[in-house]
Amino acid sequence: MANPKPIRTRKRISRAGSGGYSIYLPKQWINGWTEEQNKDRLVDMIGLGDHLILTPKIARKRINVSSEKMSNYELKQYIVSSYVNGADEFRLASNRLSDSLIGESRNIIRLLDENLTPGSTNFEISYSNRSNIVYDTDTLFNLLFDRVTEGENLAIDLLTCFDVNPNKGIQILRLMYALEEEDIDRLAFQILRMLARCDSSSRTILDLNVKWMATDSLERIGDNLYAIAGLVSASYGLEREMLQYPVEYLQEHVLKDGARVPKDMAGLKEHCITDMRTCSQTLHKIKDIILKRDGRKATESSKDISEYRLRRERDYWQNLGRLSQLSSEVQNSISWWSMIEKRIGEMLYLTEGMTKRAGLVYFADDPS
């Protein structure tokens, strides 16, 4: 369906037969239907609170784009954006596509959804959805919370052991990278796709908005976990791709000295681990609150998170003040831990944000 102009009009409902009602649909909307949609003239109706959404029955959405040249990042954005927008068929035309771009496109499509069939030539990248399976959004939403919490627990283990047990640190890094790329991103994009198509158990448009924001926040928490893994990898002198090497090789050729934390930094390290543990416990707690649409508990939790964030920032800067006069080795370590603490703070902020939004929407919501 192609209809770029928004429609806002008012129609009168008329009696139609025994107990039924009818309404004239805007001609502008019908004229925007594709030829395939016009064959049956059938619509699906979706009720969201006081709103009734009509959508043409033919749901195979197509997106065609073209670009003379693009980077790997732009390629990923084209594919993921089309998928999130609900496209069943996607086509990207270009003057010339390198083998690396074609290979990258297949990896992206494979990670997004096993039901997508990738296609490519030297001048085109495409995918087609070969299944009409409709996922249960609440099940995916629940699973996304669990996967992000699992990632935060892995981050706790990583920060605890990376300097004293590099072998274990490498194993955790591998798990964190795989979890973020293959589980968190995948689940988040699938949920956003379902919400864009209104395939959801949401009761109102605002309820839909809460799920969209929470999904986006959880995906961004995953990005911060990925960044923490990257900082630890860099402290080992490792590039992301090197984690595929055997641990024995890394131990012999890369991790000769490990990643030593100065003795004076033990308190700062423990501070970060405590904050990371609070992130995990808080996320586990608010999952049920948001899923149950408990506006009062969400409001209380958002206040608790806000107060904790203020305390942790004050305590962290006090710790830095005590360390500011120490050796250059300590100063370098302070900079590294500050980057870790910044990522943890962003995760707390995102958790507070989605909880606050849930409280705002559900506080006066009638759950019946």
User: Going from the N-terminus, what domains does the chain have, and what CATH number goes with each?
Assistant: 34-133 (3.30.110.150), 137-362 (1.20.58.220)
H helix intervals, 97-165: 99-112, 137-161
pLDDT score of 282: 96
pLDDT score of 154: 97
pLDDT score of 229: 93
Kind and range of the H or E run holding 114:
none
- Residue 266, phi-psi category: left (phi > 0), alpha (psi -120 to 50), beta (remainder): alpha
Residue type, 18: S
Angle at 197 (CA atoms; ends 193, 200), nearest 5 degrees: 85
CA distance 305 to 303: 5
CA 155 to chain centre: 17
CA distance 47 to 71: 41
Q: Is 249 exposed, middle or buried (0-12, 13-18, 19+ CB in 10 A)?
A: exposed
Token representation of residue 151: 């990632």
pLDDT score of 209: 92
pLDDT score of 141: 93
The end-to-end CA distance of the chain, in Å, is 36
Which residue's structure tokens are 């490519």?
Answer: 120
pLDDT score of 274: 93
Closest of 279, 271, 267, 273 to residue 346, by C-alpha: 279
> Do 89 and 79 meet the contact criterion of CB atoms below 8 Å apart?
no
Q: What is the pLDDT along the chain (368 residues), one digit of tens a residue?
A: 554 578 888 888 988 877 788 888 888 888 888 787 888 888 888 888 888 888 887 667 889 999 888 888 999 999 999 999 989 999 999 888 888 899 999 999 998 998 999 999 889 999 999 877 777 888 999 999 999 999 999 999 999 998 888 888 888 999 998 898 889 999 999 999 999 888 777 888 898 899 999 999 999 999 999 999 999 988 888 887 787 788 777 777 666 555 666 566 677 888 899 999 999 999 999 999 999 999 999 999 999 999 999 998 888 777 766 666 655 556 667 778 889 999 999 999 999 999 999 999 999 975 54
CA distance 368 to 361: 15
> Do 291 and 141 meet the contact criterion of CB atoms below 8 Å apart?
yes
pLDDT score of 264: 63
Angle at 345 (CA atoms; ends 168, 260), nearest 5 degrees: 35
Which residue's structure tokens are 């790329």?
Answer: 181
Rounded (10°) angle between helices 205-235 and 166-179: 150
- pTM for this predicted structure: 0.87
Listed in sequence order, the residues at least 6 apart from 195 whose beta carbon sits closer than 8 Å to its beta carbon are: 137, 202, 208, 211, 212, 215
β 87-93/116-120 pair status: unpaired
pLDDT score of 72: 87
> Do 223 and 179 meet the contact criterion of CB atoms below 8 Å apart?
no
> Do 54 and 26 meet the contact criterion of CB atoms below 8 Å apart?
no
Closest of 253, 241, 255 to residue 166, by C-alpha: 255
**In which order are the strands placed within the sheet that holds 61-66?**
61-66, 87-93, 124-129, 116-120
Token representation of residue 108: 């992206």
